[in-house]
Amino acid sequence: MKKAVKTQLFASKAPLEWAVIANGQLSTAQIPIDSEGRVVAGGIEAQARQTMENFKHTIEAAELTMADVTQVLIYVTARDYLAPFNKVYAEYFEPPYPNRAAIIVAGLAREEMLCEVVAYAAVPQ
């Protein structure tokens, strides 16, 4: 049985939850939106920070910590965005780091989005 994680993030009109827990695992996808659902301005560093803040908020709303995160998939719309994203990302984790992949994509759901994160975390049983 899956359970939605209650967050304080913008309530999307799309048919989605910001995170769900099932089978001892949290699954989440995060984007660079503010509390009013707007994609933040300021380029990749600002968007990476907003995405990671939303991610951290969601992890904490599930009563977990960033140390519980086991895998992260990072999507960026340009290869040059990986270094600034990594700089911000490194502020949120300590060793041992989660398993990770970085993918360069042609675009994301909203044209102005430069990054997105999909992640999984272990939920203690």
Answer whether residue 42 is part of any domain.
yes
Residue 4 lies in a domain: no
Query: pTM, whole model, 2 decimals?
Result: 0.96
Pairwise CA distance, residues 23 & 39, whole Å = 32
Residue range of the domain that includes 52: 19-122
Write the CATH number for 97: 3.30.1330.40
Q: What is the pLDDT of residues 3-43, one digit of tens each?
A: 999 999 999 889 999 999 999 999 999 999 999 999 999 99
Q: How many domains does the chain have?
A: 1
Q: What is the Cα–Cα distance from 117 to 75, expressed in whole angstroms?
A: 6
Cβ-defined contacts of 40-43 (< 8 Å, 24+): 43/84, 43/114
In a domain, residue 76? The reply is yes
Assess if residue 8 is contained within a domain: no
